[in-house]
Amino acid sequence: MSLLQVEKLTKNFGGLAAVSMVDFKLESNELVGLIGPNGAGKTTLFNLLTGVYVPTSGEIVMEIDGKKERLNGVKPYVITKKGLARTFQNIRLFKELTVLDNVLIAMHQNSKAGVLASIFRLPKYYRSEEGMRQEALSLLSIFDLDNKQQELAKNLPYGDQRCLEIVRALATKPKILFLDEPAAGMNPQETADLTKQIRKIQQDFKITVVLIEHDMSLVMDICERIYVLEYGRMIAHGTPGEIKQNPKVIKAYLGGEE
């Protein structure tokens, strides 16, 4: 089966169907785009896949160590441990902590020190802490943030805060990384740099990356496949070339008439 398989996924808020009967699948080691007008249900879909929301109906199934696991209703922290990580449309950093500590917090779920070693500060604990610190600095260096490791997150420029959130997500060792509008608020040069880094991350870490993005040049440039949502329903799926020429997508999102 696919790495992640979604079938007839639906989320109702009262009488409103924010996501309706959505089919969606992800394979290992690919870069996928999710686009659509504002209010189409893109972030709601991310919230369903990462445990923030519980589906009203439908199935979310992930292949983990060769076995199928149903993720409906699983808590977000458990889903993170299973290999799904995300960033948010509105930056959610620990702003009063340092850049380095933001990453280390994300890494501690994978700590191998053990409870006793951590409580009694045994040598294994210090070796584990130093190993995580070096790994965190290596991740920060992807975005040239290692030289800002002791700055408070709130003092970083906006673009760097966006990048730090991506690094923190990578620190959880995901199989799938969901990026919710990673280029939002960035200038053209920052967006161009980010585009290169997203592609490099996907290739170097051999993970699946899914991004919501309104910058069509970014999406068309790096995504292998694209899904299109409108009013909570999936109206198209295909390669960038196919999506550009799809009449439904042109009418709903890209501009123009059928």
Co-location of 13 and 138 in the same domain: no
Co-location of 10 and 128 in the same domain: no
State the Cα angle at 82 between 177 and 118, rounded to 5°.
110
| Torsion angle of C-alpha atoms 104, 64, 48, 58, degrees rounded to 10 | -170
Per-residue pLDDT tens digits for 18-45: 999 999 999 999 999 999 999 999 999 9
Co-location of 168 and 55 in the same domain: no
Co-location of 101 and 44 in the same domain: no
| Mean predicted confidence (pLDDT) in 146-166 | 96
Co-location of 17 and 130 in the same domain: no
Residue 91 binned pLDDT confidence (cut-offs 50, 70, 90)? very high
Q: Which of 123, 146, 172 is the last residue of a domain?
A: 172
Determine, yes or no, domain membership for 44: yes
pLDDT, residue 126, reads: 56
Q: What CATH number should be reported for the domain holding residue 232?
A: 3.40.50.300
Residue span of the structural domain in which 146 resides: 93-172
Co-location of 128 and 207 in the same domain: no
Co-location of 196 and 238 in the same domain: yes
Residue 122 binned pLDDT confidence (cut-offs 50, 70, 90)? low
Co-location of 12 and 124 in the same domain: no
pLDDT, residue 113, reads: 57
Determine, yes or no, domain membership for 237: yes
Co-location of 141 and 106 in the same domain: yes
Q: How many structural domains are present in the chain?
A: 2
Co-location of 220 and 148 in the same domain: no
pLDDT, residue 127, reads: 75
Q: Which residues pair with 9 in a beta bridge?
A: 22
Please give the share of the chain, as a percent, with pLDDT higher than 70.
Answer: 91
Co-location of 184 and 154 in the same domain: no
Q: Which of 172, 206, 229 is the last residue of a domain?
A: 172
- Cα separation, 132 vs 112, in Å, equals 10
Flag whether pLDDT at 118 surpasses 70: no
- Cα separation, 213 vs 89, in Å, equals 10
Helix (H, G, I), strand (E, B) or coil at 233: strand
Determine, yes or no, domain membership for 244: yes
Of these ranges, 24-33, 210-219, 248-257, the one predicted with the greatest mean pLDDT is 24-33
In the chain, the DSSP E strands lie at 4-13, 16-26, 31-35, 57-64, 67-70, 84-86, 176-180, 208-212, 225-230, 233-238
Q: Which of 172, 205, 221 is the last residue of a domain?
A: 172
Sheet containing 176-180: give its strands across.
84-86, 176-180, 208-212, 31-35, 225-230, 233-238
Residue 257 binned pLDDT confidence (cut-offs 50, 70, 90)? very low
Q: What is the pTM of this model?
A: 0.91
Residues belonging to the chain: 258
- Cα separation, 90 vs 240, in Å, equals 27
- Cα separation, 199 vs 151, in Å, equals 27
| Mean predicted confidence (pLDDT) in 166-179 | 97
| Mean predicted confidence (pLDDT) in 212-227 | 94
Co-location of 167 and 184 in the same domain: no
Determine, yes or no, domain membership for 166: yes
Determine, yes or no, domain membership for 88: no
pLDDT, residue 125, reads: 65
